[in-house]
Structure 1
Amino acid sequence: MSGKSRARLGVISTPHGEIETPAFIPVATRATVRTLSQDEVETVGSQALICNTYHLKIAPGDKLIHKSGGLHTFMQWKKPLMTDSGGFQVYSLGFGKDHGLGKFLKKPNERKVEKDMQPVNMRITEDGAHFLSPIDGEKMFLGPKESIRIQENLGADIMYAFDECISPLANKEYVRLSLEKTHRWAHQCLDAKRSNKQALYGIVQGGSHRDLREESARVIGAMEFDGFGIGGEYGYDAHG
């Protein structure tokens, strides 16, 4: 722990080794880091990689990866692996795509996403997200239980709870309702977890609202997760 601030060093222990924190974790969306070979990823000193649950479900499929021995064998990667929940893709392919936004507003804007609004090409319900496969148009569904099942098939060392990543255009009422849903989903993720070899991290949401962030930190922090992440949108980026 720093004597000047709340910054600190740490170590995350996993079945495939340790991660010294703080750390930069490269994104291997489809089980590979774009433009880099596995040898190059090793050479730059990457301690761990994070893969994308949504994209790996779409192709080649979590069941195929499970049959191959899991992500570590599939990728020929011996160090720690993480998988996200797919929650961000629900946003990026929904409201994010509708409004051309990521997690930051590029300029001040009026909040447009209000209670009961739905993305154009996706339907978000209490159970999860209904959408069409970008490959063949097949109807698909991703919710907390499904996300955990897929992540357990993938077999990464660290999994993340399924959450709703909200748009930076969402008004506070939408954010609050979404936050409550994310908290309910967090309980469902914990109940769905079967693997004792994989850690499950909870996600703190709340958008750019400090009171909601603090509320979410208290609620998620009281659950029996193995670790925690900070997710969602981060408001206006003055340098965007």
Structure 2
Amino acid sequence: MTTDQFSFTVTKTDGAARTGEIRMPRGVIRTPAFMPVGTAATVKAMYPDQVKALGADVVLGNTYHLMLRPTAERVAKLGGLHKFMNWPYPILTDSGGFQVMSLSALRKIDENGVTFQSHIDGSTHVMTPERSIEIQGLLGSDIQMQLDECVKLPCTDAVAEKAMQLSLRWAERCRVAFGEQPGRAMFGIVQGGAVERLRIESAKELAQLDLKGYAIGGLAVGEPQEVMLRMIETVEPHMPKEKPRYLMGVGTPDDIVESVRRGVDMFDCVMPTRAGRHGQVFTRHGRMNLRNARFAEDLRPLDADSKCVASNTYSRAYLHHLVRSNEILGMMLLTWNNLAYYQELMAGLRKAIADGRLEDYIGEVKESWAKGERDGKAENGAVAASA
């Protein structure tokens, strides 16, 4: 049952972990949730109805890419992003800040915003907090993110603090620009690098803005997992418990499991789709590289017990052949498998929290990954010995 307003309800907790529902006019997002990334108005190598059938309640679109091509104004003219990409369910758009940091050839950051050159044609653009919200409004997304400055880690405390303070000021400007939009939400982004006092200050100051939700940004940018988890543990007590918590750009299945354990509700990452296009798969048995010679005559499916056709039907030998031949079908099937596994993992986490057995479930999941890794090493050794 949807609503004409944005709301979030925690339905069950297990330790710091929680399961719940975000209700919006375009649908209900079950949390913990993984959001497939549809950077340029498409989840690469997937049909929209496939993405929904796998269990995704929401997808992510990218402000930076869409403002450059085909432009937000054109998307709005064509009826908005939902109609444009044939996805009538919730869409979250990021602010474009991370892509400006990572993709633009030249950029200049000041109090007003970011001036940068397009990675496509070198044209110059200015992204202010107000312009970011305007673009997201033109796209028509349901959840919009504030513009923030995302720094690369490691960095000095001074660099982290400067970016965090600027992001706080930009959050206030984004809040004003967003105004009141019934049924839609704007989320703030906690910054502060790997410095605990800065993360706490950022979380506390953002909470004062009384936004609809809060994200933890500036992680999954090369730091060790232990640093990421420590930052989550640091900010979680200072994030409003009645608001959804979104860990941006994360991550591997293990990253997700450990973050859910620490109270995170929402995730996005290009990893399952990008890995699928490069021959890597995620399954209950762990991660596999289908380029590996040990799969050349392996008639087993990726996962016979999976409900996904890509996972339970095609042999590893056939998928190995497709990958080695650079066939498009290989990219499609492996992406399909990966997104299916991520959604199966999220469903398992939600059920485990609801049943009060999260720790047992995590233990079972990790043992299955470990067994798959042991079996893979043994198979690699057998192939090498017979070569």
- Fold conserved between structures, TM > 0.5: yes
- Mapped pair 1:202 → 2:202: no
Please state whether the residue corresponding to 1:130 is helix, strand or coil. strand
Q: Is residue 178 from structure 1 mapped to residue 150 from structure 2 by the alignment?
A: no
- Between Structure 1 and Structure 2, the one with more helix by share is 2
| Paired position in structure 2 for 1:68 | 78
Q: How far apart, CA to CA, are the structure 2 residues paired with 1:178 and 1:21?
A: 30
1:42 aligns with 2:66: no
Q: Give CA-to-partner distance per residue, 1:7-47, whole Å, 9 cap, x none.
A: 11111111101101001110000010011111221221111
In 2, Cα distance between equivalents of 1:22 and 1:204 = 19
Deviates more, 1:165-174 or 1:85-94: 85-94
Task: Tell me the alpha carbon deviations over residues 51-104 of structure 1, each in whole angstroms, 9 at most, x when there is no partner.
Answer: 00000000000001111111111111111111000111122126xxxxxxxxxx
Q: Which residue of structure 2 aligns with residue 223 of structure 1?
A: 209
1:237 to 2:248 alignment:
no
Q: Aligned match of 1:18 in 18, 23, 28?
A: 28
1:194 positional shift? 4.3
Q: How far off is 1:193 after superposition?
A: 1.3
Aligned-pair distance for 1:163?
Answer: 0.4
Structure 2 partner of 1:142: 127
Q: Secondary structure at the match of 1:200?
A: strand
Aligned to 2:61: 51
Unaligned runs of 5+ in 2: 1-11, 227-251, 253-387
The aligned runs of 1:182-193 (5 Å cut-off) are: 182-193=167-178
Mapping of residues 71-90 of structure 1, within 5 Å: 71-90=81-100
**Aligned pair count?**
214
The residue that corresponds to 1:123 in the other structure is 108
1:159 is paired with a residue whose SS is strand
- Name which of structure 1's ranges 164-173 and 130-139 shifts more when overlaid on structure 2: 130-139
Larger radius of gyration: 2
CA change 1:121–1:14 in 2 (3 A) is same
CA contact (8 A) 1:90 1:165 kept: no
Cα deviation 1:167-208 (Å, max 9, x = unaligned): 103200010011110000001001111461421111111111
User: Which residue of structure 2 aligns with residue 106 of structure 1?
Assistant: none
Scaled by the length of structure 2, the TM-score of the pair is 0.53
Once residues 29 and 48 of structure 1 are traced to their aligned partners in structure 2, the CA distance between those partners, rounded to angstroms, is: 13
Shift of 1:145: 0.7
Query: SS of the counterpart of 1:66?
Result: helix
Match of 1:113 in 2: none
The code of the aligned residue for 2:197 comes to D
Q: Which moved more, 1:18-27 or 1:130-139?
A: 130-139
Query: What is the RMSD computed on CA atoms of the aligned residues?
Result: 1.8
Structure 1: gaps spanning 5 or more residues: 95-119
Q: 1:238 to 1:201 in 2, by over 3 A?
A: closer
* Cα distance in structure 2, aligned partners of 1:11 and 1:140: 37
Structure-1 residue corresponding to 2:13: 2
* Offset from partner CA, 1:150-171 (integer Å, 9 cap, x none): 0000001100011011110320
SS of 1:39's equivalent in the other structure is helix
1:80 & 1:137 partners in 2: Cα distance? 32
Percent identity for Structure 1 against Structure 2: 41
Runs of 4+ in 1 over 4 A off after TM superposition: none
